[in-house]
Structure 1
Amino acid sequence: MSSSLSAEDDDIFERLQQRKDPQVLEEQQEAVNERMRAIYQKAQTRLAEMIDQNSTLPCTISSVQILNAPHTRRSFLERIFNPLLSANQSRPYTLSEALREISARADKLGRFDLFQQPISVYLDESQVDGSTGLRNIDVFLAAREKSRPTGIFLWRNVFGGAETLNLNASLGTRTRSAYQAAFETPILSDPDFRLEVGGVASATQKSWASHEEVVRGGWSKLRWMSQSGHRHEVGYTGFWRQMTGLSENASPTVRADAGDSVKSSIFHNWVNDQRDNPLLPSRGYYAKAFNELAGWGPLKGDVSFWKSEIETQGAIPIPIPGIKGDSGVSFTTGFRAGLLYPLGLDSSPRPQLSRVNDRFLLGGPTDVRGFRLCGLGPREGPDALGGDVYAAGSANLLFPLPRVGADKPVRIQAFLNGGRLLPLRTSQKATPTSSGEARDAMVSTLSELHNGLPSVAAGVGIVYAHPVARFELNFSLPLVLRKGEEGRKGLQLGIGINFL
């Protein structure tokens, strides 16, 4: 049996074989996407209406199950989710209360950084409780654990309770070697309350002061976050420091501080960060206060001092006429200050104010731009000696690159910054040798901060906020340079997390 195709049939096959116009395909796809969006929006609206209509409906949470968490300790999870069960509550939930509490517990689990995001939550309504007449809800959380050993140096969830072991080793030219180990664990299954213990052994070339510093020691600290979002950290540090490898032209002050030193101290660190982006803020504020007490009473050690630092930063967006939403233009200001006050001068047979490796250093691409690294403050020959009192501030104007857009983490920067770093001296410009003279010296040195202009520099540059660190390439020009300090005219590259 045979058949033949007519001309009409040939036309049909030709039309089927023809490629559709790309514009037609795009319109069809857009229509499909629009329909899907409408269906999704309708479903979301319906779900919201159902929850709203039944928000006061009494219910109980009868069980909570965490799926795909084989390496996480059961007791650790129970401490988080047992308070959620209705058996541990004094009264039934309303539906809205149950949803709110489930969401809060899922968010808390996510903050341990154990699971890949997002953590999905499913609810299943079981049979009505015959004795109470309440609806029972079973909660399921679908989570997928992150890899436990990450590369060689980071091991998550060591004992199944969100513990972390971090091992670091680095070799380089300035930091000749650095080995560090830190173990961190949450306390009472709380991601905002953690204990950390660690140790370090490092050797760093201090080219600005003609020596190498070898540090060995350890620390322990507690970290927590208050209900208002303030971060606190208290701890103890014990370090054996060695100033060694002095260059031939090292200054007399550096030579006098060479050798061994033991620092035993306790500290407290407080941070309130309300910025929208810590590396490239356009709005919000940041405040930090650090206090350290060394060598006092039972702390021992051969250095004794009180050390305090404060730091603030503020950022505001600048609206541009004709541009809707965030223009990407912002103005930021920053301020830092610190003091190092000696203790135990009266009881020491050889009074010493402070050592080179305990003093503040100022100047460089991440704090006072336009000056060499550690270029501000007292100097002796080729060496920067550091200071006991300092203050520094900056003003920065940032705006997007043309044709790049405000949503990209790249900005052009114009800045003006300056600062002063001073040694502790009495009103007669002498080194204090007693507690009484030290108090007089502190008042005199603080007064000296505003005596005359600070060292000031201005410039322009490019800022790139990478998720890991901030990069700045600036052209700087020193405007005010105090006697003995070292400015830097030209290009300067800065890489770090915390910039002035």
Structure 2
Amino acid sequence: MPNDPTVKLPFNETPVKVENVHVTGVKRTSSKQLLANLKLIFDATNFEQLVSQIKKSKDTLSRTGIFKKVDVYIDVHSKGGHAVDKTKYDVTFDVVEEKFVKGGVSSLVGTNEGSLLFNLNFPNLFGCGESLTFDYSFGSKNTSGFGSHLKLPLFYNPDWNVLLSTLKYGRDFAWNGTREKTVGPSISLEFPSFVGQHSLKYEGFWNLTECLDSEVSLGIREFAGHRFKSAISHTLKRDLRDNPILPTNGSLLQTKQEIAGFGGDVKFLKQSLDFHYIKSLFFNTALHFSMSTGFLKNFDKPSLNDRFYLGGPLTLRGFTLNGAGNQENGHSLGIESYAGASVNFYTPLPFLNGDSNFSRALKLHYFANFASVGNITKMASLWDNLRGTCGLGLVMNLSNMARIEMNYCLPLRAKHGDRIVHGFQFGIGMDYW
């Protein structure tokens, strides 16, 4: 057998030098934006590094919101149509930019509430991934709103953004008999860290709280009128779930701190924490544990809707929406601290193939939910104010847009004034325990 002079090296030992990076299809994008996102490709010294850097650059370009298509081609560098050195390469990015203006209609889902959102978007406004969006929404609970949002990337990095917004919206809150109108600007800085995704935000909102009818209790009427809220908040979110609606593995940690009182007449300190842990078990089953806590310290009378509310078909099941806690004439006054926990056990339906897409989207679940309001730092108060429910039902992932539950609830413990649901309860939304 003749000797084969060809020596095949592994990718991480194959030397590489990138001579040129070409970008075709560019019309409005700044060269500075492209250089910032592609310059690391020139640092590759072997073929494995080259493929890795190209993949990272393609992912970054796709996340800028500038392009709707990004294709990559690698070729040996040549002069006059002939390869001069097989270790030298040219890389070509073939891109298709987003249109100058685009619009659409989408749906938003809250807890037992649906809305339509109309938006008009101007992507890549100045050539570096900026975008300007105008939106208008109206919903099933007499909600309506208008917003304008200017997103400004920092350092040509799609993960670091400044967001300038102005909002005007109104909404009915049936559980406390009020309607709230809000107008004002906000500015936020969004950035990642090794912990998760951060949002640091300032908002200056004028609020008008009005009573929906003459039967609203005096405790609610005390909150009616005009207020100006000037607040700074920080939100951290670390989401490792395999699905945001019906997960079978992973965890979610979300915390928020808010301080109001930098001017205006609303002054408080607010802290909330939510944690979920989901573990796959045998025969396509999964165990889901979650906990939620919140604390509000008032320095002056807050807006009624800055308080916490407990109860609902997806959280503290077996209670009406926001029907647990302080009540007056059938209206919820909200609470200033709470702690809650839930255990859910998901199983496939017995007559479905557990590996099918439909089976992954529709499951049986058995649940036990507990929550306490009041002074959660004292064990006696924690026990005295404890609420609890258990039950079973069907849970469905609606195309990753919403979670739908149909449950049979058995309230185990409630307090005087709580509005409970003993029997079937239907719920749809995004936030759940």
What is the TM-score of this pair, normalised by structure 1?
Answer: 0.75
Offset, 1:112: 2.4
Matched, 1:474 2:433: no
Alignment match, 1:188: 155
* Residue 201 to residue 207, structure 1, CA distance change in 2 (3 Å): same
Distance, in Å, in 1 between the alignment partners of 2:163 and 2:380 is 40
8 Å Cα contact 1:246-1:255 kept in structure 2 = no
* Residue 114 to residue 353, structure 1, CA distance change in 2 (3 Å): same
Offset, 1:270: 0.8
Alignment match, 1:120: 71
Offset, 1:134: 8.6
Alignment match, 2:252: 286
8 Å Cα contact 2:77-2:86 kept in structure 1 = no
Q: Any unmatched runs of 5+ in structure 2?
A: 1-6, 105-118
* 2:217 alignment partner, one of 238, 251, 261: 251
CA shift digits 1:147-168 (9 cap, x unpaired): 4413352333233322233322
Distance, in Å, in 2 between the alignment partners of 1:217 and 1:447 is 42
Alignment match, 1:318: 281
Distance, in Å, in 2 between the alignment partners of 1:334 and 1:170 is 31
Deviation larger for 178-187 or 275-284: 178-187
Distance, in Å, in 2 between the alignment partners of 1:493 and 1:458 is 13
What is the TM-score of this pair, normalised by structure 2?
Answer: 0.86
CA shift digits 1:473-498 (9 cap, x unpaired): 22323222211101113333322222
Distance, in Å, in 1 between the alignment partners of 2:394 and 2:49 is 51
Matched, 1:261 2:227: yes
Task: Please state which structure has a larger fraction of its residues in helix.
Answer: 1
Q: Secondary structure at the match of 1:109?
A: helix
Alignment match, 2:240: 274
Higher RCO by CA contacts (8 Å cutoff, separation 6 or greater) = 2
Alignment match, 1:430: none
Alignment match, 2:286: 330
Offset, 1:375: 0.3
Offset, 1:314: 0.6
Aligned residues: 404
Matched, 1:403 2:352: yes
Alignment match, 1:17: none
Alignment match, 1:135: 87
Task: Please state which structure has a larger fraction of its residues in strand.
Answer: 2
CA shift digits 1:375-403 (9 cap, x unpaired): 01101112100000011111111122322
8 Å Cα contact 1:244-1:258 kept in structure 2 = yes
Matching of residues 3-82 of structure 1 within 5 Å: 52-53=9-10, 55-82=12-39
Alignment match, 1:106: 58
8 Å Cα contact 2:387-2:412 kept in structure 1 = no
Percent of paired sites with the same residue = 26
Matched, 1:237 2:190: no
> What is the RMSD of the two structures over their aligned residues, measured on CA atoms?
2.5
Distance, in Å, in 2 between the alignment partners of 1:203 and 1:143 is 41
CA shift digits 1:30-68 (9 cap, x unpaired): xxxxxxxxxxxxxxxxxxx95x53532333212212222
Letter in 2 for 1:225: P
Distance, in Å, in 2 between the alignment partners of 1:207 and 1:143 is 49
Matched, 1:494 2:427: yes
Q: Secondary structure at the match of 1:66?
A: strand
Deviation larger for 271-280 or 462-471: 462-471
* Residue 271 to residue 171, structure 1, CA distance change in 2 (3 Å): closer
Q: Secondary structure at the match of 1:391?
A: strand
CA shift digits 1:175-195 (9 cap, x unpaired): 342112222232112121111
Q: Secondary structure at the match of 1:254?
A: helix
* Residue 397 to residue 407, structure 1, CA distance change in 2 (3 Å): same
CA shift digits 1:439-470 (9 cap, x unpaired): xxx856x7512336423342322322422222
8 Å Cα contact 2:65-2:124 kept in structure 1 = no
* 2:372 alignment partner, one of 402, 420, 442: 420
8 Å Cα contact 1:417-1:458 kept in structure 2 = no
CA shift digits 1:419-452 (9 cap, x unpaired): 1233x7xxxxxxxxxxxxxxxxx856x7512336
